[in-house]
Amino acid sequence: MIRVLVVDDHTIFRSGLRKLLSDEADMRVEDEARDVGEMLTKLRGAPFEVVLLDVSMTGRSGLEAMPSLRAEFPKMPVLLLSMYPAEQYAVVALRAGASGYLTKDAEAEELIHAIREVAAGRRYLSSIAAQRLLLQTASADDDQPPHHKLSAREHQVMLMIAQGISLTDIGKKMFISVKTVSSSRTRILRKLGVESNAELVMYAIRHKIVHG
């Protein structure tokens, strides 16, 4: 039996996953967590075979949580779920230590297959993301687009800025100070080689990180 821990800050989404997996004979949602702190507490208290972890939770994101999770549970299969395109985020996810990456609009059959794959100790990416990763692996580091050199937090801040979210609201969503967000923004602009939010948005559209 594949015992799954679902980590997401939306109750309806967690309930939907519980119902979906209840139809599978070889897996079940054993427990749920609303944030990173609760996730770590649950993992310390009971055995699980797979963690389904949302990328963009309130407070610490799933990506930011990966170092803490890997420090305590280095072999735990973690499948990151997100609304962001796999071809843009999958590489960041794997570099952070995830076992796989899947977008939330994936078909149910693909999610179930992905859970079985990571539970068996394999990695899982959609075909598009896998092709992108192979191309990037074959390229030299100097050929990598600048946004692939952002940290997990910087990547998350970049996405929200590109979506038109204010620095104040980004701080509230991530539970960090506006000063911290502003510092991240400065580093992001420098790394991307742009000088303003408008140029950042154009960069994001050009690299298909967000839709124009």
Closest CA relative to residue 111, chosen from 21, 180, 191, 46: 21
Contact between 200 and 157 under an 8 Å Cβ cutoff? The reply is: no
Q: Is 2-136 a CATH 3.40.50.970 domain?
A: no
pLDDT along the chain (212 residues), means of 10: 95 94 94 94 96 84 85 94 75 84 90 96 78 55 73 84 90 86 94 93 82 58
Residues ≥6 apart with Cβ < 8 Å to 85: 103, 208, 209
Residue 113, token pair as written in the block: 């297959």
What's the maximum distance between 2 C-alpha atoms anywhere in the chain? 53
Distances (CA, A) of 85 to 18, 80, 89, 167, 183: 24, 12, 6, 23, 26
Contact 157, 188 (CB under 8 A): yes
The answer to whether 123 and 94 have CB atoms below 8 angstroms apart is yes
Sheet holding 27-33, edge to edge: 27-33, 2-7, 50-54, 78-82, 100-103
| Residue whose pair of structure tokens reads 């997401």 in the numeric block | 8
Contact 63, 93 (CB under 8 A): yes
Distance separating alpha carbons of residues 91 and 86, to the nearest angstrom: 8
Dihedral (C-alpha) 82, 84, 86, 91: value to the nearest 10 degrees? -90
List the alpha helices (DSSP H) in the chain.
Answer: 11-21, 36-45, 62-72, 86-95, 108-119, 127-138, 152-162, 167-174, 178-192, 197-206
Confidence (pLDDT) at 211 = 61
Q: 145-206 adopts what CATH topology?
A: Arc Repressor Mutant, subunit A (1.10.10)
Across the chain, the runs of DSSP E, i.e. the strands, are 2-7, 27-33, 50-54, 78-82, 100-103
* Token pair in block for residue 41: 């507490």
Instruction: Supply the pLDDT for residue 86.
Output: 67
Domain ranges of the chain: 2-136, 145-206
